[in-house]
Amino acid sequence: MHHKTGAGMVSSLIPPTHVLAFADFPRAVLLWPFLHPCVLSLLNFFSRWNILGLQGALLSSFIEPMYLHSIIVGSLYHTGHLSRVMSHRIEDIGQLPASYRRNQLLLSGVSHADARQPGKSPSFSVNWIVGNTDLEVINATTGKRTCGSPSRLCKHMFFTRWAKLHGKLSTRIPSHGDMPSVYSEAKLVAQTYQSVKQQLFKAFQKAGLGTWVKKPPEQDQFLLTV
């Protein structure tokens, strides 16, 4: 699927019925051929993070939204296009609850961008946590550790940590109520977050940007086992 812009043609791989419109994307913004047909571009997630924050549904039960302050783009940088995509695609979202806002990112480029080195992407990724000296190496294909066990970044591990914190807080704060045993139900505990998310999706549709692609609900319907 191709879209004409003032800067040229933009390509995407997502079917027209399941894609946020790319009409305002610059020529340099592409969905690379190795992406799954139902994977949204990173810029769509920036649009989402600028409203909902980075913390996700689980952490929204405990903390206020966390917003990015600035980003630096290494190459293929066009100030006008990128600013419009990041901050001005969903201006008509309406009134947001307290602590939520339409975040305005500071954008910057680099004085000298290194030439992109062609080649195959690595088959692994590495993550680390501040205050923890252990590095975790993950197979980029399976999402598991090189030894085959689940990553500490997987949904089940996040749910386990969330449940422990929820259990501690529920003894002090009655409003936290009973702890959900299903991951999808735990995400619904953050009612304000879920409400703003629906408000955001409606704003996308109202702006003619399409429907947000949702992953199969079955993947969130698992029990907490510790």
Provide the residue ranges of all domains of the chain, joining segments of one domain with +. 2-111+150-220
Residue 155: band (very low, low, confident or very high) from pLDDT cuts 50, 70, 90:
very high
Tokens found for residue 218: 């079955």
| DSSP bridge pairs for 138 | 125, 145
At position 52, the amino acid (one-letter code) is L
- Most confident stretch, 35-39, 118-122, 186-190: 186-190
Residue 217 has pLDDT above 90, yes or no: no
Percentage of residues in the chain with pLDDT exceeding 70?
A: 72
Query: Does residue 212 have a pLDDT over 70?
Result: yes
The reported pLDDT for the residue numbered 132 is 83
Tokens, residue 139: 């197979």
Angle between helices 79-87 and 42-52 (to 10 degrees): 50
Highest mean pLDDT out of 129-138, 166-175, 191-200, 206-215? 191-200
Mean pLDDT value across residues 208-219: 84
CA distances from 112 to 9, 32, 186 (A): 26, 24, 45
Segment 43-64, tens digit of pLDDT: 788 888 999 999 999 999 999 9
Quote the pLDDT of residue 174.
Answer: 52
Burial (CB < 10 A; 0-12, 13-18, 19+), residue 9, is exposed
pLDDT at 130 over 90: no
- pTM surpassing 0.75? no
CA distance 194 to 204: 15
Lowest mean pLDDT among 8-17, 73-82, 91-100, 173-182: 8-17
Q: Which residue has the higher pLDDT, 76 or 43?
A: 43
Q: 10 in helix, strand or coil?
A: strand
Contact 143, 156 (CB under 8 A): no
Highest-confidence range of 24-33, 79-88, 160-169, by mean pLDDT? 160-169
User: What is the model's pLDDT at position 173?
Assistant: 55
